Structure 1
Amino acid sequence: MRGRAAGLVAGLGVCVSLAACSGEPKPEPEAARTHTPVTIAFAGDVHFAGVLADRLSNPATAMGPLTSVLASADIGVLNLETAVTTRGAPQAKQFTFRSPPVVFDALKDAGVDVVTMANNHALDYGPSSVSDALAAAQTAGVPVVGLGSDDQQAFAPWVTTVRGERVAFLGATAVVDDSLVKTWSAGPGQPGVATAIDGQNQRLVDAVRAARATADTVVVELHYGKDLTTCPTAVQRQLVTDLVAAGADIVVGQHAHVLLGGGYLGSAYVHYGMGNFQFYASNGGTKTETGVLVLTAAGRTVSAPEWHPGRIVDGLPTPLTGAAATTATDRWEGLRGCSGLTAEPTPQAG
């Protein structure tokens, strides 16, 4: 995986900066294209707090075994739910997470290709959390979306080319502590996260529409929902509807610390909540239910969703097998019931 990721960066026309790609040729018209399938694997929230802190002493073995599913896909993505800095002071909020820069080496060694940091912990240690995280990510060669030195960078996609297919990833959060929204939201000259809060999602919609114009497949990572709630909220549903209308092909979310349902909204694939992945959740209970979602994208056609179920054990995502895996997969399938999503895609009109 590490060699594959390096090849993507060095040899396949990837935009390796943390800003938007520019100057690359537009893809051929859809009618002239035969798209090649690309596999994309998604996981949920990751931090290295509590019982996990010492694991970064050896980055090569820091991540749990279920991460191998991310490494096996063409592109692996997850949510990094922590400030990455050794400076600053904890913000005035209930929970604050911090990891040293080596966290990006751990993710890269585990086969993660891109992370979103658009969440409610990326600035847990103040504005220096942004510049330090971006510098560490660039040094390690791990692209970050949803975080930036200003709004232009925070809302910019990371675009990678795999076997001729241009796949764009964007990240945004609809969750930030009320008292911190103003100072955490990326803006002109202000570092922070890409936000889509309280219905203020036009900037994200515009970013998706712009990515749609040049990408074969557009993926949006969202941090949203209500803690420990397994059905999507009205805010989640509306935001997803707006993004799909703007051209998103895949929308995957996290934040609630439990799994939510996944399925199709028209021809787009939506997963409302990936839950925790590598997290200090205690053994047992819904907060330790986890998994990796693998999708196959051939341009705008998203197919073959595969759920690889797991359980968080001592903070580490661990695969389930046998009867336990069957039971967990059945439960995951059942979560679709309150999502408004379907098991099969509906072809786009026109």
Structure 2
Amino acid sequence: MESANPGMRRTTRLRYRRRRRLLWLESLLLALVLVTLSSLLFVFLVIHREREAESNPQPLPPIQVAVDREIAEEVLPLLRDYGETHPQDSVQVVEEGASIVVTRNPLLIFMPHRVELLHVPPLKLQAAGREIVLGPEKSIWLCSEREDPRLDALASWLAEGLARLYPEITFNAVGDIIPGRKVAMRMAEKGFLYPFEAVAPYIRDADLVYADLECPLSDRYAPPYKGTDFIAPSRTVEGLKACGIDVVSLANNHSTNFGPAAFTDTLKLLVEKGIAYVGGGRDAQEAYSPLSLEIKGTRITFLSYNAIAGSINATSQRPGVAWFDMWPYAADDPEDLAAMQEAVRKAKREGGFVVVGFHWSEEYKRLPNPSMRKVAHAACDAGADMVIGTHPHCIQSLEWYGGSFIAYSLGNFVFDQMFADYTRQGIILRCRLMGSELVEIELLPYLIHDYCRPVVLDGASARNIVGSLLSISDL
């Protein structure tokens, strides 16, 4: 028995060890099961919460945006529309404390994240191979303090909306069209398109073409081939149409040469042929009223005034042109100046691009006189984006004034003054806009041939005219 005791003790110890191992394995297995169940429960809870959050999303804080005042009119409606169409991303416009700013001056906004919403290049004047930068870049940017996934959608929305508000528009302007006298003689000999057909391809494809029509178009009287009273047959309008002319100014000293009846014939003809007019009308109200056109959704407004003696001036009872008192044919009239400025301010308040035309100056003078500068500057101060002058029968200087472009005279466009180079030379303004922002001006010089026919120049001839013009200009 004593010899068996040690064996039994070993057996007992082995059983005890096995039981301990088994208990340890059972505990480990139980722990693994508990861990697995806990993990599964955790995953279940996470998925449940995510689904619950998806079905009951918590509103995110509104996107707080500040907008520069100069672009508020364009940007604020887009922000309102975005908030209405994206209710999950509400937008709140604030003046201070915004983490997002829409601006034209990103370098003044100390925020690290920037997106260009609209590229508006600096205004450049191009002529005969030369280029002059006149105005600054006016691109629109979205700046933010931090990244936010919601900003991509907002930036895309604003960029698309601004692209619609700033379409590319081409606008051409030419000077005096006086199709009487020898021009009328040439049309009788060679057809009504003859004066216009060489130059038409350079101007007709623009979205908008403007000219000064300084002659009545009527068949009441045969056109005299001498003298300084001008009239042309009604079929002369075919040449205007061939050039794509959309708007004519009648505010000059020759559009009423043959009296109210021939002038009224001209108004009827222009309406019939789809050519708008400004600076003249059936009465004073029409003559002094602005002409507003919508081009690709952008408003372009024209005002025009005559300051040269010899016109029939419109009254409440009489057709005629819009008169403006200024030197050299009258003393500068502060009341006329104030009325013009108020008309320009009103036009600018209604939005868009504003062009003001003046028929002014002494003849054959290449530089504007002080009265012309004063009036042009007053128009620009009131909101005119461009001032276009006519009458001197020669090109006058250009000026960039306070963000507005002034062409004091574009010269003769279709006329018979062949006695000097300067009366035969002229400039076509070919402009490109983005919405109401002027971004490019091209000067295209020409020379009038055969008493009536402008022909566009290139090479040294073009460079000489452009160089002479720029040398007297204030750009």
Under TM normalisation by the shorter chain, which class is it? 0.7 to 0.9
Aligned partner letter, 2:205: S
- Say what the alpha-carbon RMSD is for the aligned residues: 2.3
Matches within 5 A, 1:1-350: 29-32=73-76, 34-56=165-187, 58-87=191-220, 95-177=228-310, 184-198=312-326, 199=333, 200-282=336-418, 284-314=420-450, 315-336=452-473, 341-342=474-475
Give the drift of 1:291: 2.1
Contact 1:44–1:254 (Cα < 8 Å) also in 2: yes
Aligned partner letter, 1:321: D
The verdict on how the C-alpha distance between 1:64 and 1:256 changes in structure 2, with shifts beyond 3 A counting, is farther
Tell me the distance in 1 between the aligned counterparts of 2:212 and 2:367.
Answer: 20
Give the drift of 1:246: 1.6
Contact 2:430–2:442 (Cα < 8 Å) also in 1: yes
Tell me the distance in 2 between the aligned counterparts of 1:303 and 1:55.
Answer: 38
Matched pairs, number? 304
The C-alpha deviation readout for 1:178-197, integer Å capped at 9, x for no partner, is: xx6xxx22121221101111
The alignment partner of 1:201 has SS state of helix
The C-alpha deviation readout for 1:127-150, integer Å capped at 9, x for no partner, is: 213211111111111111111111
The C-alpha deviation readout for 1:213-242, integer Å capped at 9, x for no partner, is: 223101112111110101101121111111
The alignment partner of 1:86 has SS state of coil
The alignment partner of 1:102 has SS state of helix
Tell me the distance in 1 between the aligned counterparts of 2:384 and 2:166.
Answer: 17
- Higher alpha-carbon deviation: 59-68 or 257-266: 59-68
Identity %: 27
Which of structures 1 and 2 has the bigger CA Rg?
A: 2
Give me the TM-score of the superposition, normalised by structure 1.
Answer: 0.80
The verdict on how the C-alpha distance between 1:220 and 1:150 changes in structure 2, with shifts beyond 3 A counting, is same
The alignment partner of 1:83 has SS state of coil
Runs of 5+ consecutive residues of structure 2 not aligned to the other structure: 1-71, 77-161, 327-332
Give me the TM-score of the superposition, normalised by structure 2.
Answer: 0.60
Higher RCO by CA contacts (8 Å cutoff, separation 6 or greater):
1
Tell me the distance in 2 between the aligned counterparts of 1:63 and 1:148.
Answer: 26
Tell me the distance in 2 between the aligned counterparts of 1:297 and 1:157.
Answer: 20
Give the drift of 1:39: 1.9
